[in-house]
Homo-oligomer: A and B are copies of this chain.
Amino acid sequence: MSNRAVVLFSGGLDSTTTLAIAVRERGSECHALTIDYGQRHRAEIRAAKRLARKYGAREHRVLHVPLDRIGGSALTDSALPIPRAGTRGIPITYVPARNTIFLAVALGWAETLDAKEIFIGVNAVDYSGYPDCRPEFIRSFADLAACATKTGVEGRPIRIEAPLINWSKAEIIQKGRDLGIDYADTVSCYAANASGVACGVCDACCIRRQGFLDAGIPDPTRYVS
């Protein structure tokens, strides 16, 4: 029985923790996949390239899917400012159908690799309210994967694993520390500069900062403010 897995990997706090769980706790042979979707925070891609091998991926691939040509999000359209944390409802940093697209591409690669599962580091507790980070989304995608693919109709559906989905950010950070992650390496900020220094005020930064506070662990992140 293969223990091969595709891990969606952005180089952020959540997906790095997910990779470490897949490699070190589950013993999976991990094939890390970063989607370069034209995000403004290019530091994320550079972090992913540094971290995939460091945390045990067998292989790392960066695939370009130019969602900036579609737009509709502050993460892909530089005409839209990145808001400070605290906006109500689903924020403008929502990227239409992003995790659907990410999982779809991961599904294609997983089937080609004959991988048994896909790991994704979504979280529905300390998060920005994105619809495609919720448990019902993951369940629905798993149903789709079972009927969309050759492996699925042959009775070997690829599983979708979202180990962080019900954890607080503090719990994620504690788990990562136990697994030996140096979070100074990871980039969460939506507006990180070219050196990976975080803005400190966007939603991603505020959730991350609060997570370290709640975990009682010193925050190694470099913030501008």
Instruction: Please report A residues at the B interface, Cβ cutoff 8 Å.
Output: 61, 63-67, 69-72, 90, 94-101, 103-105, 107-112, 131-132, 134, 136-137, 140-141, 143-145, 147-150, 152-153
Contact = CB atoms under 8 A, between A and B. Distances in A.
A70 to B, nearest CB: 5
A63 B65 CA distance: 8
Given A94-B150, A140-B144, A144-B141, A108 B101 contact: yes
B97 A104 contact: yes
Given A65-B65, A149-B131, A108 B104 contact: no
10 contacts: A70-B105, A72-B108, A96-B107, A96-B108, A96-B149, A97-B107, A100-B144, A100-B148, A101-B105, A103-B104
A69 B61 contact: yes
B64 A64 contact: yes
Nearest to A111: B96
Determine how many copies of this chain the complex contains. 2
Contacts of A61: 69
A215 B110 CA distance: 40
Given A61-B69, A147-B137, A147-B140, A108 B90 contact: no
Contacts of A94: 150
Contacts of A136: 147
Nearest to A35: B65
A94 B61 CA distance: 22
Nearest to A151: B96
A144 B97 CA distance: 10
